[in-house]
Amino acid sequence: MPKEWLAEELSEQYVADYKAFNFVDGEGVRCSLYLSGCPFRCPGCYNVAAQNFHYGQPYTAELEQQIIDDLSQDYVQGLTLLGGEPFLNTQVGIRICERVRQEFGQTKDIWSWSGYTWDELQQDSTDKLKMLSLIDILVDGRFLKDQMDLSLQFRGSANQRIIDVPQSLARHEVVIWDKLVR
């Protein structure tokens, strides 16, 4: 049900993990921020601990500065927001996305993984839509164990899509990332 879950009610603004310079959370070398808390609780979730909104550490200004410093390395392509559920931590998500745009403009990209589908997000709260508008690539949808496929690019199950967000918003329909391999 749209707007059933809201960041303002659920988020503790906690961070489960931060991984600088990794090779698996999207295209190129990336810095990944794992935001805590996810009520979807997909069976087979790879990050069960992060389903708790109180897991990990509070998001801090120091961490934010660290992320900005790490992103400023030439070899880093961009920031990745994962979880947990980033779209139920929009306080942190919007803040870091805006900071990235302010510091780097469009020279660094932002990817995010969400349990929400594109269509669900379209009907949801304004904070979710605002965060979506700051993102370049969305990998959408719940992880479905029976559709699990380890050979998929950047996804765990076949229902998930790698969506080009600006194109999709402009055309009002889902546009798949043009570099999709499989």
Partner 1 sequence: MGTRAAATSLDQLRELPVIKRGGTQTKFHPYKLNYVLAQLVPAEADRQAVRQALVVHYRTATAIETRELRPALIQILQDLDLTTAAKAYQDYFIAEQARFSAATNVRDRIEQLFSRDANVVHENANKDSNVFNTQRDLEAGAASRAIGLKMLPDLVAKAHLRGDIHWHDLDYSPVTPETNCCLIDFDGMFKNGYKIGNAEVASPRSIQTATAQMAQIIANVASLQYGGCSANRVDQLLAPFAAINYQKHLADAEKWVVAAQREAYAQTKTKKDIYDAMQALEYEINTLYSSQGQTPFTTVNFGLGTSWIEREIQTAILKIRIKGLGKEQRTAIFPKLIFTVKRGLNLDPTDPNYDIKSLAIACATKRMYPDLLMYDKIKALTGSFKTPMGCRSFLQGWRDENGVEVNSGRMNLGVVTVNLPRIALSAHGDQTLFWEIFEERMATCHQALAYRIERTKEAQPENAPLLYMYGAFGKRLQPGESVDALFKNERATISLGYIGIYEVCTTFFGPDWEQDAAALAFAEKVVKALRDKCQQWAQASGYHYSLYSTPAESLTDTFCRDDILKFGRVPDVTDKEYYTNSFHYDVRKHPTPFDKLTLEERFPKYASGGFIHYCEYPNLTQNPKALEAVWDWAYDHVGYLGTNTAIDQCFECGFKGEFKSTARGFVCPQCGNHDPKTCDVVKRTCGYLGNPQQRPMVHGRHVEITSRQKNMSPEMIKNAARYERTKQSDAQRMVSGGAK
The nearer residue to partner 1, 23 or 46, going by C-beta atoms, is 23
Candidate residues 154, 156, 168, 177; the one interacting with partner 1 per rule CB under 8 A = 154
> What's the first-to-final CA gap in the chain, in angstroms?
31
Could you tell me which stretch among 10-18, 39-47, 125-133, 148-156 binds partner 1 (CB under 8 A)? Answer: 148-156
Q: Is residue 137 within 8 Å of residue 164, measured between CB atoms?
A: yes
Query: DSSP alpha helices (H): ranges in the chain?
Result: 7-10, 61-71, 90-104, 118-122, 126-133, 165-171
Q: How far is the CB of 28 from partner 1 (least distance, A)?
A: 4
Using CB under 8 A as the binding rule, whether residue 74 contacts partner 1 is answered as yes
Candidate residues 6, 10, 29, 174; the one interacting with partner 1 per rule CB under 8 A = 29
CA distances from 137 to 9, 22, 132 (A): 26, 17, 9
Candidate residues 20, 42, 63, 174; the one interacting with partner 1 per rule CB under 8 A = 20
Of the candidates 36, 92, 41, the one whose C-alpha atom is nearest the C-alpha of residue 63 is 92
Candidate residues 10, 13, 18, 27; the one interacting with partner 1 per rule CB under 8 A = 27
Q: How is residue 75 annotated by DSSP?
A: T
Q: Is residue 29 within 8 Å of residue 23, measured between CB atoms?
A: yes
Footprint of partner 1 on 75-134 (CB under 8 A): 75-77
Footprint of partner 1 on this chain (CB under 8 A)? 20-21, 23-24, 26-30, 73-77, 150-151, 153-154, 181-182
